[in-house]
């Protein structure tokens, strides 16, 4: 896969004719992708590719995302893009990114995933560990929004490096950024700064799995 910097260089080449100036700055690309400039700078530093925003950009301009990420020509992907994979999808389960969870009957369905998105979920071998549920509430905006579909890897429950996880507490099911403290307690963090951080002991909640990807509203 191309690095963050190589991908941004390619995007700058694609949109170069749209700018009067000969120089296209990172802030211009951040605006095109809809990524806040501070977040963009952090992603660049960490070589973290904004996959969802990049997919939207490619879709709006009818560009193959595999060409952006891997340099693969569209012609080489004709057969591959006709292949789909199925994962478990709990249509009636909502993990709250707000003030309260809404966990209903866990009736499992199947969600069809195009092959070109499988790498975002960890690859074919990881699909057996992936489950999809809905987001409700606004406490994780702008990272997640109401009715997004999030993909959870149930095998990934280690909190040592932190990250965004689906957790279950006495109040229900939640999607939160989780960070382990030096004293062993866990900070439960909302990306929306209007919500305060909670601190819990590990015995006060259950880790369901790490959130590895999301799709927007698919209704």
User: Do 31 and 107 share a domain, yes or no?
Assistant: no
At 107 the pLDDT is 62
User: How does strand 172-180 pair with strand 186-189?
Assistant: antiparallel
User: Do 169 and 92 share a domain, yes or no?
Assistant: yes
Number of domains, the chain: 2
Separation between Cα atoms, residue 179 and residue 163, nearest integer Å: 7
Which among 23, 47, 74 is the end of a domain?
A: 74
CATH of the domain at 139: 2.10.109.10
Which among 74, 97, 132 is the end of a domain?
A: 74
The domain of 190 spans: 82-215
At 98 the pLDDT is 47
At 217 the pLDDT is 39
At 219 the pLDDT is 35
User: Do 33 and 92 share a domain, yes or no?
Assistant: no
At 175 the pLDDT is 92
DSSP string, 147-163: T-EEEEETT----TT-E
Which among 50, 74, 98 is the end of a domain?
A: 74
Separation between Cα atoms, residue 157 and residue 163, nearest integer Å: 10
User: Do 144 and 181 share a domain, yes or no?
Assistant: yes
At 190 the pLDDT is 93
Separation between Cα atoms, residue 150 and residue 153, nearest integer Å: 10
Separation between Cα atoms, residue 139 and residue 177, nearest integer Å: 10
At 91 the pLDDT is 67
User: Do 182 and 137 share a domain, yes or no?
Assistant: yes
At 167 the pLDDT is 93
Q: Is residue 64 classed as helix, strand or coil in its secondary structure?
A: coil
User: Do 161 and 117 share a domain, yes or no?
Assistant: yes
User: Do 48 and 139 share a domain, yes or no?
Assistant: no
User: Do 16 and 89 share a domain, yes or no?
Assistant: no
CATH of the domain at 67: 1.10.260
pLDDT tens per residue across all 219 residues of the chain: 788 999 999 898 888 877 766 788 999 999 999 999 998 999 898 888 888 888 888 888 888 887 888 776 655 555 554 567 788 877 666 676 544 334 444 567 778 777 777 888 888 888 899 998 888 888 898 888 887 888 999 999 999 889 999 999 888 889 999 999 999 999 999 999 999 999 999 999 999 999 998 875 333
């Amino acid at each position: 896969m191309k690095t963050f910097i190589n991908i941004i260089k390619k995007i700058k080449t694609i949109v170069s004719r749209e700018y009067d100036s000969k120089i296209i700055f990172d802030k211009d690309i951040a605006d095109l992708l809809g990524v806040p400039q501070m977040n963009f700078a952090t992603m660049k530093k960490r070589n973290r590719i904004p996959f969802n925003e990049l997919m939207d950009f490619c879709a709006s301009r009818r560009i193959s995302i595999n060409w952006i990420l891997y340099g693969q020509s569209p012609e080489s992907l004709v057969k591959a893009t006709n292949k789909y994979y199925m994962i478990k999808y709990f249509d009636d389960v909502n993990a709250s990114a707000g003030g309260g969870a809404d966990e209903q009957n866990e009736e499992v369905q199947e969600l069809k995933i195009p092959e070109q998105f499988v790498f975002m979920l960890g690859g074919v071998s990881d699909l057996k560990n992936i489950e999809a549920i809905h987001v409700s509430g606004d406490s994780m905006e702008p990272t997640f929004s109401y009715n997004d579909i999030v993909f959870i890897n149930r095998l990934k429950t280690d909190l040592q490096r932190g990250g965004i996880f689906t957790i279950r507490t006495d109040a229900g099911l939640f999607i939160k950024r989780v960070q382990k403290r030096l004293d062993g307690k866990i900070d439960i963090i909302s990306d929306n700064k209007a919500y305060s951080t909670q601190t819990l002991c590990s015995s006060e909640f259950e880790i369901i799995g790490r959130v590895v990807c999301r799709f927007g509203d698919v209704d």
